[in-house]
Structure 1
Amino acid sequence: MANVIQHRYDFIILFDVTNGNPNGDPDAGNMPRIDPETGLGLVTDVCLKRKIRNYIEAACEDKDGYQIYIKDSVPLQTSDQKAIAYLGVDDLKDIKKKDPDADRKIRDFMCQNFFDIRTFGAVMTTFVKGALNCGQVRGPVQLGFARSIDPIVPQEVTITRTAITTVKDAERKSTEMGRKYIVPYGLYQVEGYISANLARKVTGFSEEDLQLLWNAIGNMFELDHSAARGNMAVRELIVFEHDSELGNAPAYKLFERVHVSLKDGVQVPRSYSDYQVIVDTEALPAGVTCEQKI
């Protein structure tokens, strides 16, 4: 595969929210996700990957090789059919009989055409149902859950509106009540990993894909502003690059070099300026460099 990444990367993203709900929990009335034991806020990896996908879709406009597999209002089967048409067959059950190498061809086709499969991987259930061994692709880029640096205190805000839903309701009331949850302020940290080994062996994630990913991470909230999410922004993107495919040091030891803490005298954080971020780049392990891209 031409231009596939050759180095492993480990990275940390710091992002914050002001007066918004960064990731509502549908099992808790859409309240911001929270760790009940520590009070720290949570944002799922799925939520963050959605923002990245949305940015790529807007930036590339379905450019060849940069389609998005997991997207609104498009059934997965519709996208899967493109690979089936590429092989020129009608029945999934007949594919293996006609072409013993169909598994690899379908996987490669989907990776080449869909950026998010090439990046994050995917579970393609259409192919699994057809007994094809290509339906689960493990992507080279993985994100963990984001966790806030300090405990958050979600607030329930009652709101009113003058536009009544029905004519009958308008006969007996002039306003309707609603509510929304916000986090007054929260700074979140999430760790990410990029495997050059999986890129080479499986998806073909390239240097061009990598640069686009960094750009998407830095801008993932810029096209996602809404009243519900308040003001969200990526504040830091700290990247550790290894000079080898398999890496030169454990990721956790590199992540421990990033220290985020409240400045002296700050009791309740209400802005990014209330924090200090220190990255220890002294005596990095041999073969590892660090770059603060944001």
Structure 2
Amino acid sequence: MNNSEILFLYDAKMTNPNGDPDEENRPRMDYERDINLVSDLRLKRYIRDYLEMQGERIFVTKLEDKSVKPEKIIDKLKKDLGKKKLTKEEILKELIDVRLFGATMPIERDTKTFTGPVQFNWGYSLNKVELIEAAITSHFSTDSKNQQGAMGRDYRVKYSFIAFSGVISGNRAKHTLLTEDDVNKLDKAMVKSIPLLSTRSKVGQYPRLYMRVEYKDNETILGDMRSTIELIEKNESPRDISEIKIDVTKLVKHLEDNKDRIESIYYFADPNLEIYQEGEEKEFKDIFNSFNLVEVR
């Protein structure tokens, strides 16, 4: 398998992209710059949940809606497969999230650590983000003496346009038995998982642009593509996808300069996102038409 690098852009409107338990579940923030942050674990959770919803076996999951020790997951896998023992290869072939992201897991009397070929940096917003705070009241009392209902706080971002960067290592893929089919499933999960797995605090998030640049070898890494994207705000404090646009002029040059290293670009582009190159609005497929493009559906 060859290396790939990922650029993923999505937005969040009146929602909480990633609550911080150390901050009363407020959205994670870099307060010095008013930048919204989202951990890689939050993104991986979306992907795992989507893949599980599609019938894939997942290692980092719950059993009967309860958190359990890793040994319990392996014991259930043995039971489902009708085996008393499982080899490393058998476990890897069954658990797609371990093939993607790696894990530390019990294998018989040993503990084995797999470093995942797919890794993401933390996501951050390309715009400055404002928070909104509101009081919420539950109709259920907290105990027999309190008949008024529980009070709490609800924290959300007004609008956040979030960018993630990721890599897929062809060398590490060999050790977790990652397949091309697995990577294709990852592509779909990146595009579909967030809106399909919305909860009360997460509804209002949509993928806007996904690019997986696949290289011709397992040595090439060109670097984080987020620095080549310019976010242009139509209004001083945007609140909707219609109030922003992105300029990909630097990204196009970055990729064109390394075109001989690129095999294909797998992509999803939301038609609601305005994309500009050298001051002119264009469709994604027209901007990158010199590359072998594969649309993710």
Question: Normalised by the shorter chain, which TM-score bucket?
Answer: 0.7 to 0.9
Instruction: Give the structure 1 partner of residue 59 of structure 2.
Output: 69
Distance 1:168 1:141, change over 3 A: same
SS in structure 2 at match of 1:238: strand
AA at the equivalent of 1:276: K
Alpha-carbon separation, structure 2, partners of 1:293 and 1:230: 20
Aligned: 1:136 with 2:147? no
Amino acid at match of 2:2: H
Q: Which amino acid aligns with 1:199?
A: A
Decide whether the 8 Å contact of 1:7 with 1:244 is kept in 2: yes
Instruction: Find the counterpart in structure 2 of residue 190 from structure 1.
Output: 164
3-state SS of the aligned residue for 1:71?
Answer: coil
**What residue is the counterpart of 2:90 in the other structure?**
109
Q: Distance in 2 between matches of 1:189 and 1:80?
A: 35
Shift of 1:137: 0.2
Q: Which has the larger radius of gyration?
A: 1
Measured in 2, the distance between the counterparts of 1:87 and 1:166 equals: 48
| Residue equivalent to 2:176 | 203
Higher strand proportion (structure 1 or 2): 2
Alignment partners' CA distance in 1, 2:141 and 2:261 = 64
User: 1:238: Cα distance to partner?
Assistant: 1.6
Compared CA separation, residues 209 and 291, structure 1 to 2 (3 A): closer
In structure 1, give the amino acid aligned to 2:121: G
Structure 2 letter corresponding to 1:49 = K
Query: Are the counterparts in 2 of residues 140 and 196 from structure 1 also a CA contact under 8 Å?
Result: yes
Matching of residue 251 in structure 1 with residue 223 in structure 2: yes
Count of paired positions: 257
Structure-1 separation of matches of 2:26 and 2:197: 19
Tell me the equivalent position of 1:78.
72
Partner of 2:124: 147
Task: Provide the residue aligned with 2:146 in structure 1.
Answer: 169
Amino acid at match of 2:137: T
* Structure 2: gaps of 5 or more residues: 270-297
The whole-number CA distance in structure 2 between the counterparts of 1:256 and 1:165 is 48
Match status 1:281 vs 2:252? yes
Tell me if the contact between 1:83 and 1:106 (Cα under 8 Å) persists in the aligned partners: no
CA RMSD of aligned residues (A): 2.4
Shift, 1:127, TM fit: 4.4
Of residues 249, 259, 267, the one that matches 1:292 is 267
Q: Residues 176 and 203 (structure 1 numbering): CA distance in 2 closer, same or farther, change over 3 Å? A: closer
SS of residue matched to 1:193: strand
CA deviation after TM superposition for structure 1 residue 179, in Å: 1.7
Post-superposition offset of 1:166: 4.5
1:123–1:136 CA contact under 8 A, matched in 2 = yes
Residue 218 of structure 1, aligned match among 182, 187, 191: 191
Matched residue, 1:96: none
Distance 1:250 1:83, change over 3 A: farther
Query: What does residue 35 of structure 1 align with?
Result: 30
Aligned counterpart in structure 2 of residue 14 of structure 1, from 5, 9, 18: 9
Distance in 1 (alpha carbons) for counterparts of 2:87 and 2:115: 14
The 1:255/1:17 distance shift into structure 2, 3 A limit, reads: closer
Query: For residue 101 of structure 1, what is the aligned residue in structure 2?
Result: none
Give the superposition deviation at 1:121: 0.2
Paired amino acid for 1:75: K
1:160 to 114, 137, 142: 137
Mapped contact 2:232–2:247 kept (Cα < 8 A): no
Which is further off, 217-226 or 76-85?
76-85
Q: Distance in 1 between matches of 2:84 and 2:39?
A: 39
Q: Percent sequence identity over matched residues?
A: 25
1:221 aligned counterpart, secondary structure: helix
Separation (CA, whole Å) in 1 of partners of 2:162 and 2:182: 25
Structure 1: segments with no counterpart, 5+ residues:
1-5, 61-65, 90-104
